Structure 1
């Protein structure tokens, strides 16, 4: 899709809330249409272990992550941030050490001790009662500095108080995926408590697309989240990949109240060298974008932009530009990210 494209069918248009007949395997049935109004169709798969660059070169949509590929995602525990108007996670503690920059490199064993993780965000958000959201997202391969945990782009549907969350997007993380290619991820929060990457509470239905799979770089892909048949469904490109059942929240979270589209860097530093997006400052035309934002069974998109970073000074200079800025492009598209603060 053209990088400047903004208007695509926002199928975000209402779909029937009546689920299809129950499947014999006991799994819930996805909506008949994807969040952007198209019928599901097969993806083009690359070879297991293919790199993000090779996927883009061959026009493939996704590839199993080599030897790690499985029909069931493997849980990977590690730090994960969140942001909203009321509460933002700027710091957390973890005993998970950042993976070394060279895959398979040996490192001297260190005793496990809690380390401080600092979260940086560039986001667009909107409070709205909705059944979900979709967007075209530019998948990139940003530089991940040594000592940092991840850099990602995601969309999230949250409860109005921000306590319950469903997330989908792409992430570059040596800890989670073992390399520096962008990978598909899903995540959820229950009562503001973190879970784990790609597996906790997840129900897989697609035979072709699995959280953790490698994604092509430098191309736009559609991502979506939708409440349907008592579950939060996740879509990527042209397929429904699976869902988080409402039972995870004891049926208390069945409607979105806050939607966000944002970039996130989890760093060991207040001034990280890690790129967000494609490493280009948001004010430039070639910066990373969220395109064609839409709300499912909700109001018109009217997002607010915001950048947030932790700071060692309790009274930082208000004139200093954010590490990772955002920039308005159109009513349904915005730019975000940059090259860090080195």
Structure 2
């Protein structure tokens, strides 16, 4: 149910009841009073949640994409928390972009010792249909053919790792309904199959329910218990500590790739700080912030799997497979300029340095007639793969 429907429903239930005579029964009055109280309680709960998420700004920026960006003060020690080793690693050449986000296109910026945070609004929570579900990944495990499915086209490696990096081109895939999403990301995992796995995730996504539009946005995610009770998107719960004043996590990315036209890439990096165990996130040449080591239970020394690739949600809302696209909406065989890709796949090993993948990753596409993947290797791109697809088609009913 979208936000408009929820509000209309609440108002109707709260304030409208059929009256067939001038004598309204006590039951009707009691029920109407109960619904009004329920409505006001919901409004109060949402208001309290918004106060938890949105911090008092020292400056507010109205972005041309409709977002409101609040510049929020942070402590000096947080902005200076980066160890020297990480600064050196993240300053090496090779990042594709600095920061291409809509909110800062016209020279807007936040003051020193502040960070930009996209403001969460009441309708954002209402779209989720539940305060407890807002900002969280749910339904990660496919239970049977009638439940919501998360479908992937990924390349992965297993071993002992302390980070990963890749260049990813950005698209605007069509998403069939509000509650579905399409994304491209890097996963850092303690165990790819464990029920209580720890994950750190970063990428771009189109997710109308979370953001209220169909634009590709930079996002992060974490969980310490297999998506059960911990973790969230972006800065929607305590966890990730942002230290950068130039990047809005959840902000719109621009420009984007076009079919048979220009290709636009972003560089994403996740890296474990050997001094304190924190996991840092880099976007282009910007060092955005970190996930404190205390969040996790299974990342004491290393991650044990790295995944790169695409994911969509298939809710089967029309009784068939979703038409939500992955990547460009075209299959991997169409290659450069037409299909989405990851290139120059790298991992951080025990020597605390980046290494291009020396062996081909293993590839999985759990619905290859809907979305597929094809890997390769070259001097310019290192290990790479094309991935994606249109979703519902004659071979993917």
Alignment TM-score > 0.5, same fold = yes
Q: Which residue of 2 aligns with 1:37?
A: 92
- State the 1:43 CA deviation: 3.7
> Whole-Å Cα distance in 1 between the matches of residues 119 and 301 of structure 2?
25
Distance 1:328 1:238, change over 3 A: same
Distance 1:267 1:214, change over 3 A: same
Higher helix share: 2
Q: Which residue of 1 aligns with 2:117?
A: 71
* Candidates 136, 144, 150, aligned match of 2:167: 136
Say whether residues 1:175 and 2:175 are aligned partners. Answer: no
Q: Which has the higher contact order (CA 8 A, sep 6+)?
A: 1
Q: Which residue of 2 aligns with 1:109?
A: none
Contact preservation (8 Å) 2:223, 2:232: no
What SS does the aligned partner of 1:283 have?
helix
Gaps of 5+ in 2: 1-74, 126-133, 258-263
- State the 1:267 CA deviation: 2.2
Distance 1:127 1:47, change over 3 A: closer
Q: Which residue of 1 aligns with 2:64?
A: none
- State the 1:23 CA deviation: 6.2
Say whether residues 1:24 and 2:77 are aligned partners. Answer: yes
Gaps of 5+ in 1: 1-21, 83-88, 93-114, 310-320
Q: CA RMSD in A?
A: 3.4
> Whole-Å Cα distance in 1 between the matches of residues 167 and 282 of structure 2?
12
> Whole-Å Cα distance in 1 between the matches of residues 138 and 164 of structure 2?
21
Contact preservation (8 Å) 1:138, 1:290: yes
Q: Which residue of 1 aligns with 2:200?
A: 166
- State the 1:325 CA deviation: 0.5
What SS does the aligned partner of 1:32 have?
helix
> Whole-Å Cα distance in 2 between the matches of residues 334 and 39 of structure 1?
19
Q: Which residue of 1 aligns with 2:154?
A: 123
Q: Which residue of 1 aligns with 2:284?
A: 237
TM norm structure 2: 0.60
Q: How many residues align?
A: 269
Say whether residues 1:249 and 2:304 are aligned partners. Answer: no
Q: Which residue of 2 aligns with 1:296?
A: 348
Structure with greater Cα Rg? 2
Say whether residues 1:340 and 2:383 are aligned partners. Answer: no
> Whole-Å Cα distance in 1 between the matches of residues 344 and 94 of structure 2?
18
> Whole-Å Cα distance in 2 between the matches of residues 144 and 222 of structure 1?
24
- State the 1:72 CA deviation: 6.7
Q: Which residue of 2 aligns with 1:3?
A: none
Contact preservation (8 Å) 1:281, 1:324: yes
1:282-320 per-residue CA deviation (whole Å, 9 max, x = no partner) reads: 1111210001000112676230111114xxxxxxxxxxx
* Candidates 264, 268, 292, aligned match of 1:223: 268
